[in-house]
A and B are shown apart, each in its own frame.
Chain A
Amino acid sequence: MTAKTKLVPVPSPNMIPDRDIDKRPILECINLGITFGGLKAVEDFNLAIGRTEIAGLIGPNGAGKTTVFNLLTKVYQPTRGTILLDGNDTHDMDTAHVNRAGIARTFQNIRLFQNLSVEDNVKVGMDTQMHYNMWSGIFRLPTYWKEEKTAHERALELLSIFHMADLAGVKAGSLPYGAQRRLEIVRALATNPSLLLLDEPAAGMNPSETAELMENIRKIRDTFQIAILLIEHDMNLVMNICEGICVLNFGRIIAKGTPEDIQANPAVIEAYLGKKKEA
């Protein structure tokens, strides 16, 4: 009861980095919530993300982090609340529509197009930016050649961010695990998003791969000037690259703030380590 009547400006913009503060946030979630058969999986989720911010969403297993991603991308329809993407309500959009509006994501359990080549996986990501129709494809009209050439070049360019250009012809399903995760990021980038959601991008990576990934996430933000929201269990990565962090436990936000704030927050420590026994 009390949570809903708290007199806090919603969403509280205090997480947004200074350089983005005067601009409209790319994403605002207002009192977002979803109920699965009586269970409130996510409740009163309020968040604002700046246009070039790298934000982190952390929390113990089962806290509802991936559910938040599924709400943002409309894999699940929210039971309550509003999602504003660049100021536009996404209420009537489906998953594909949300992507065209600017949110791209990766998946915790990798979802590549296994039987397509690496290059084709990236090109599928560009499909919404291509214009030639089925007949141009069948009759190989000039628009086909022109757009395919552009797509090929851009795919290689994007792949080279992760030094994967030489793997362009490889079947995606036969890539090693880490490369599959990287390919998912490239595919998401290919859709030209303004907000990139990364679900455990470092899962299964060794420390040197993780370090390289951190560099690349920063590089992506700097090159494409986009916002990134990531779910990650690797605290080293989160604390190093995230400018704002949001901690979720049992479907509710228990803390928001800079990495330093979060590390010092007793509620977060309790959620992760359990309650300390009073002596």
Chain B
Amino acid sequence: MTFLNYLISGISLGSIYAIIALGYTMVYGIAKMLNFAHGDVIMVGAYICFYAVSRYSLPPLVGVILAMLVCTVLGIVVERLAYKPLRSAPSLAVLITAIGVSYFLQNAALLLWSSNPKVFPNAFVINTIDEAGNPVVQSSIDLFGGQLKVSFVTIATIAICIVIMLALLWFTSKTRLGKAMRACSEDKGAAQLMGINVNATISMTFAIGSGLAAIAGVLLCSAYPTLVPTTGSMPGIKAFTAAVFGGIGSIPGALLGGLLLGIIEIFAKAYISTQLSDAIVFAVLIVVLLVKPAGLLGKQIREKV
């Protein structure tokens, strides 16, 4: 049963990584840039939700929607101001700009919200009454006669991840905008000649990625409830790793990479060593890339001679 427990928390953590990794992978696919500020958008989303719920007592769902709106706008604004002027610049210049944006977001958060850790409220609870008639806050469900305890956050995380993934697959394969997105990631010049507004498509990709980051932020902080201005960096790096793991640019790859990374991390913590879990995760990544140099689902592109 403990194995199953670890597996479930691994899948749950992996689902969060997968949602973040989607943002990395879509932006990489279309703009060919590593958006290092993506992790910090997660943090912003979590803060917005936190303040909406605990300061202004809004319902959690409204808090999440508000966070998504703010992050979507943030994503578009950042893209317009910082990345769009560098469309034709060398990729390293864009990378450094993204790092600048990341510093900016972290330090702005530090000024606005201070470095004191905020304890994120768990929104995934049910208020019930126990046998004695006292109100109880129930945050998890017992399975197999209490042998397996699964929190609602875990269930919600996995469910939300599945919904997002299906929605994105539908979006990219069936809708006009989604097809435009795929066309732009294949060949921007050709897409433009076919009448696709490349700039608008890139903005939209950033918007979607940032909106998803907000959801990931809320889920992450519901599961690991300490919120500080640097909350987003490590999950950001891990999710980026997950995106590469699965094959950067591939949406199913982000899901696969995220899930595997989450499971490996939890198992490494449980069975090998808590302190070395990060090292183990990265070591697995290295081994995978040596066997499959373009990630698990990535396409190896051969240079024409």
* A residues lining the B interface (CB < 8 Å): 66, 70, 75, 107
Contact = CB atoms under 8 A, between A and B. Distances in A.
Interface of B: 305
Contacts of B305: 66, 70, 75, 107
B87 to A, nearest CB: 22
Contacts, number: 4
Nearest to A76: B305
A75 B305 CA distance: 8
A33 to B, nearest CB: 18
B112 to A, nearest CB: 45
B156 to A, nearest CB: 45
4 contacts: A66-B305, A70-B305, A75-B305, A107-B305
Nearest to A107: B305
Contacts of A70: 305
A58 to B, nearest CB: 19
Contacts of A107: 305
Nearest to A69: B305
A170 B250 CA distance: 43
A221 B305 CA distance: 26
Nearest to A73: B305
A85 to B, nearest CB: 19
Contacts of A66: 305
A70 B302 CA distance: 13
A66 B305 CA distance: 8
A107 B305 CA distance: 8
Nearest to B303: A75
A107 B304 CA distance: 11
Nearest to B304: A109
A74 to B, nearest CB: 11
A75 B302 CA distance: 11
Nearest to A67: B305
B259 to A, nearest CB: 31
A70 B305 CA distance: 8
A70 B303 CA distance: 12
Nearest to A70: B305
B301 to A, nearest CB: 14
